Amino acid sequence: MAPINVVVTGAAGQIAYSLLYQLAAGNVFGQDVPINLRLLDIAPAMGILNGVVMELEDLASPLLSDVLPTDQPELAFKDADAAFLVGAMPRKQGMERKDLLAANVKIFKVQGEALDKFAKKTVKVLVVGNPANTNALMCSHYAPSIPKENFTAMTRLDQNRAQAALAIKLGVVVDKVKNVTIWGNHSSTQYPDAAHATVEKNGKVQPVPEAVNDESWLNQTFVETIQKRGAAVIAARTMSSAMSAAKAAGDHMRDWWYGTQPNQFVSMGVVSDGSYGIPKDIVFSFPVTIKDKQYKIVQGLNINSFARSKLDITAKELEEERAEANHILQQ
């Protein structure tokens, strides 16, 4: 089998460090799929990146066909099949989201242009670097020859956090909880929604709201815990989530590559088509099913008035981010 070309940006960073092991181990694209790794970072990080390359060599993974460390986007993105856009200005404690946006919009413009020129038109692009939703939108905008649906933002970390929190609450193993939804932005306005989730407990499958039987916990404690989890990790660790973010990036891309399980959906930030009354042309997290590398937004889920208010708040934030990003790029 011919190797696939996989790009990881910010390759000398913490998230990439965990992600690269997953890629080399075959956890994402499969145990029988060889990979050409293209590792992109900024020039000052090349020394560290060379150390990462040494470690990749020392893994002795038969799946690593070729590894190229570079600070040149045109080399990294050439004929790319899949790209993990991890590299971004990291969020530090006390940093405003607007500051983060200003620093990162320009990075994703450059990467969008490079993808447009050098990557395959079928490339699957996952934006991990924050603010991920708006970075993905900007990246797509500057790669007009690649379909918009090939650009996604990662909300799988939020989904995994929500799934884990519900599993702990219900006293089950995490894979017994299914179909938790993250709506909206990968930010503190996101809406983690357990209304359509199920849990298998004592051999019986039931709706999560019925199993939890505590509406105020689901609408307040659960929602706020997931919304603030990233900040809580930063406060405790003095750095943002890395190991869990890398795992989520692998989960997201594996499902995009191989499809979702029957009767299951996952959360992905995708360009809105107007589903659920969400404004078009923002990258919004929806529940999706995936088949043949194509996702479809799950339709027909009941949205009550509480959920509607949450969806409207996070959509408004994304519209504001889009306007701010466009303003920065026009300066």
186 an active-site residue? yes
Catalytic residue among 186, 196, 252, 327: 186
In the 3-class helix/strand/coil scheme, how is the chain assigned residue by residue?
CCCEEEEEECCCCHHHHHHHHHHHCCCCCCCCCCEEEEEECCHHHHHHHHHHHHHHHHCCCCCEEEEEEECCHHHHCCCCCEEEECCCCCCCCCCCHHHHHHHHHHHHHHHHHHHHHHCCCCCEEEECCCCHHHHHHHHHHCCCCCCHHHEEECCHHHHHHHHHHHHHHHCCCHHHEECCEEEECCCCCCEEECCCCEEEECCEEEEHHHHHCCHHHHHHHHHHHHHCHHHHHHHHHCCCCCHHHHHHHHHHHHHHHHCCCCCCCEEEEEECCCHHHCCCCCEEEEEEEEECCEEEECCCCCCCHHHHHHHHHHHHHHHHHHHHHHHHHHC
Question: Which residues are catalytically annotated?
Answer: 186
